[in-house]
Amino acid sequence: MKFKPKSIKNSLTFSISLFATLTILALGWVHHYAVRRAVMKQVYKTQLITDLKAHQSELLITLEKAIETSEALADDPAFIEWFTSTNVNPKTKEIALRKLNYIHKELAYPTIFAVNSSTKEYWCENFKLLDIVTEEDPDDSWFFNTIKSGRKSTLNFDSNSILNQTMLFVNVIMGSPDAPIGVAGVGINPSVLIEQFKKNKPSENAHLWLIDDQGKILLSERTNDINKNLDVLFDKDVVSGILSGSREQVIREVDFRNEKYELASMLMGTTDYRVAMVIPQDDLLGIVNVIGYNTIWLTILVFILAIIVSTLLAKNISRPIEHLALLTKRIADSKLNTPVKNKLIERDDEIGHLAKEFDSMQKQLSLTISRLNMANTDLEHDKIQLESINNELKTAMEKASESEKLTKAFMANISHEIRTPMNSIMGFAQLLESELQDDPMLKNYSDIIIENGNQLLAILNSIIEVAKMDSGITKPHMVRFPVNQVVNESISLFSYSTQSNVKLINKCEDKEETIITSDILLLKRILNNLISNAIKYTSKGTVEVNFHVESDTILFQVSDTGIGISTKDQASIFKPFWQVNNDSSINDGAGLGLAISKKMVEILNGEIWVESEPGVGSDFYFSLPVSKK
């Protein structure tokens, strides 16, 4: 449903307010989008990796120190001698355990350990044999996984029931990874690392993880995430991108917990472990959200101001128009004595021009109405006279119509009445001709009688034919027939009657046979009349007959090189009893041939026309609607 204000005031108020609101919204959206794009570009380019590096640097220092300590312990000669000897020297064992205890106290690690791969003895600080590791004990799986990994150093986050503490363990193989003699390492209090996580988080909702090369989370401030695989949290493509990506990478717009997050990851020094950070987009776009809120408030403020300004502006425009509308209504009620306000006429703007024109119109209208009242009086008198003339004209038209009907009836009747004695005259003339073969003079007279009688009979037949068509007796009889055959028969009919210096040409001989549906007798008569006329008015040259089929219309053409017809006479040649006044013309007919042809064409719902130039020749055309089915 369209909003259609009922006044200019409301329309202007609505239009201006809507325009201002949409403009602010559009500008705000463009600004919001531009800032968002710039912020996100900066985030992707530097911020995420910078934040991650800040976190990774502190975490790497802690882990590298732990790895160095574990590697030094794993390479200690006392431990190597102890774990590889079949007969253990008690003094060597004491030196090794003393060194273990010393490192624990000096570096303040929660625990420090060494496990013999032969005896499976798990030694820790304070000269304590903590456990004998077995593959059946789930708490000992870290040892066997470290041996099988084939890597010098590994990490694992574990809750040890014997130590009754959860720690991040750094494990270093003693000896060669291909032939390990044991595992040594330290345990790091995860709370220290988690504090570093929290310290370096770029936002409250961000997550920082330490993950291994299999996508397992080894360390997180959220204990529920520890030891989870990344494929539980992300799509396979994201996990694959994290594990197989470059040293530093950013993955944009990751789906995480039904929200859009940005993800950055980087390798921990030369290890295979990665630090990964995921942060919600909304946390990165705080300034963008502020711009969005400011845009909304600015739009509301501008909308209110636009309503106030547009209302005042609309009043300044609508009040003069309302006054002029009132004057128009009073003028419509024939009250022309209400003047236009002077303050409107004195204005120099468009409304002032309108008021001046309105005042001028009011004065002119008053003058015009006075003149109209006078003219109405004269018009009433003329109306009475016109009614009298119309009545006389109607009577005259009725008499003319009756006269035309009587004329046609008279012509039809007189044609029939003349036909009977003419038949007798023609009969006796033919008898005389056969009896007067020996007298050339009398035979010539009888030939003249017969020739003129035939002409007279042709004229009578034409008159009767015109009368039939005028009265509606002639109806078309539609049949299917080959139009080529009709053209050939008509040309054959006149081929022996042409003079030697006139050539009758059939331009349809090579055309493909065309079957149409029309009245074959009327078509033949139209063609015969046109060909006969063309031959009659052509003393030398050619007479050509042709036709073309276009869609549902067939166009016939009869052309000659005869005397031609002037432009002023071309509009009259199809009228009954009309002949061209031309000294070179042959006026031996009644002027009905073309009139009859025109009526026949019209009976077949067609058109007939001529194109001619005096002294050059004539082209007669007629088109008929036909069906080729």
Of the three residues 156, 191, 226, the one that is the final residue of a domain is: 191
* Residue scoring higher pLDDT (109 or 289): 109
The rounded percent of the chain whose pLDDT value lies above 90 is 15
The answer to whether residue 289 sits within a structural domain is no
Q: Pick from 461, 454, 455, 458: which is nearest to 430 by CA? A: 454
The answer to whether residue 321 sits within a structural domain is no
The answer to whether residue 593 sits within a structural domain is yes
Domain encompassing residue 87: 75-191
Residue 609 is predicted with a pLDDT of 93
Residue 201 is predicted with a pLDDT of 65
**What number of CA atoms fall less than 13 Å from residue 570's CA on the CB side?**
16
For range 343-372, the mean pLDDT: 72
Task: Kindly state whether residues 158 and 206 are assigned to the same domain.
Answer: no
Q: What is the 3-state secondary structure (H, E, C) of 432-501?
A: HHHHCCCCHHHHHHHHHHHHHHHHHHHHHHHHHHHHHHHHCCCCCCCEEEEHHHHHHHHHHHHCCCCCCC
pLDDT digits (tens, 9 = 90+) for 532-547: 889 888 888 999 999 9
Q: Which of 354-358, 377-381, 403-407 has the highest mean pLDDT?
A: 377-381
For range 507-536, the mean pLDDT: 89
Residue 130 is predicted with a pLDDT of 87
Q: Pick from 189, 180, 245, 168: which is nearest to 213 by CA? A: 245
Output DSSP code: residue 502: E
Task: Kindly state whether residues 180 and 246 are assigned to the same domain.
Answer: no
pLDDT digits (tens, 9 = 90+) for 116-167: 999 999 999 888 998 899 989 888 888 998 898 888 888 887 766 666 667 8
- Residue 592 and residue 462 in contact, taking contact as beta carbons nearer than 8 Å: yes
Reported as a pLDDT band with limits 50, 70 and 90, residue 1 is very low
Task: Kindly state whether residues 80 and 165 are assigned to the same domain.
Answer: yes
Kindly tell me if the per-residue pLDDT of 301 is higher than 80. no
Task: Kindly state whether residues 101 and 126 are assigned to the same domain.
Answer: yes
pLDDT digits (tens, 9 = 90+) for 433-469: 677 677 777 777 776 777 666 666 666 666 666 666 6
Mean per-residue pLDDT over the chain, rounded: 77
Residue 274 is predicted with a pLDDT of 80
Of the three residues 284, 318, 346, the one that is the final residue of a domain is: 284
Task: Kindly state whether residues 566 and 620 are assigned to the same domain.
Answer: yes
The answer to whether residue 122 sits within a structural domain is yes
- Residue 475 and residue 514 in contact, taking contact as beta carbons nearer than 8 Å: no
Task: Kindly state whether residues 487 and 600 are assigned to the same domain.
Answer: yes
Task: Kindly state whether residues 227 and 160 are assigned to the same domain.
Answer: no
Task: Kindly state whether residues 506 and 611 are assigned to the same domain.
Answer: yes
The answer to whether residue 15 sits within a structural domain is no
This prediction's pTM: 0.38
Reported as a pLDDT band with limits 50, 70 and 90, residue 52 is low
What is the secondary structure of 584-609 as a DSSP string? TS---S-S-HHHHHHHHHHHTT-EEE
For range 563-576, the mean pLDDT: 85
Task: Kindly state whether residues 187 and 205 are assigned to the same domain.
Answer: no
pLDDT digits (tens, 9 = 90+) for 207-220: 777 888 788 887 77
Task: Kindly state whether residues 590 and 549 are assigned to the same domain.
Answer: yes
Residue 607 is predicted with a pLDDT of 93
**Pick from 201-205, 225-229, 520-524: least confident:** 201-205
pLDDT digits (tens, 9 = 90+) for 580-623: 655 444 555 556 778 888 998 999 999 999 999 998 999 999 99
The CATH number covering residue 229 comes to 3.30.450.20
The rounded percent of the chain whose pLDDT value lies above 70 is 69
DSSP-derived pairing of the beta strands 274-280 and 515-518: unpaired
Kindly tell me if the per-residue pLDDT of 231 is higher than 70. yes
Reported as a pLDDT band with limits 50, 70 and 90, residue 482 is very high
Alpha-carbon gap, residue 383 to 365, rounded angstroms = 25
- Residue 220 and residue 197 in contact, taking contact as beta carbons nearer than 8 Å: yes
Task: Kindly state whether residues 187 and 279 are assigned to the same domain.
Answer: no
Task: Kindly state whether residues 614 and 483 are assigned to the same domain.
Answer: yes
Residue 585 is predicted with a pLDDT of 47
Helix H or strand E encompassing 209: strand 207-211
**Could you tell me the two tokens for 394?**
């109607």
The CATH number covering residue 504 comes to 3.30.565.10
**Pick from 242-246, 508-512, 564-568: least confident:** 242-246
* Residue scoring higher pLDDT (187 or 6): 187
The answer to whether residue 376 sits within a structural domain is no
Give the number of domains in the chain: 3
Residue 366: CB partners within 8 Å, gap ≥ 6? Answer: 336
Of the three residues 191, 209, 227, the one that is the final residue of a domain is: 191
Kindly tell me if the per-residue pLDDT of 257 is higher than 60. yes
Alpha-carbon gap, residue 98 to 79, rounded angstroms = 11
Kindly tell me if the per-residue pLDDT of 85 is higher than 50. yes
The answer to whether residue 86 sits within a structural domain is yes
Output DSSP code: residue 47: I
The answer to whether residue 575 sits within a structural domain is yes
Residue 607 pairs with which residues in a beta bridge? 623
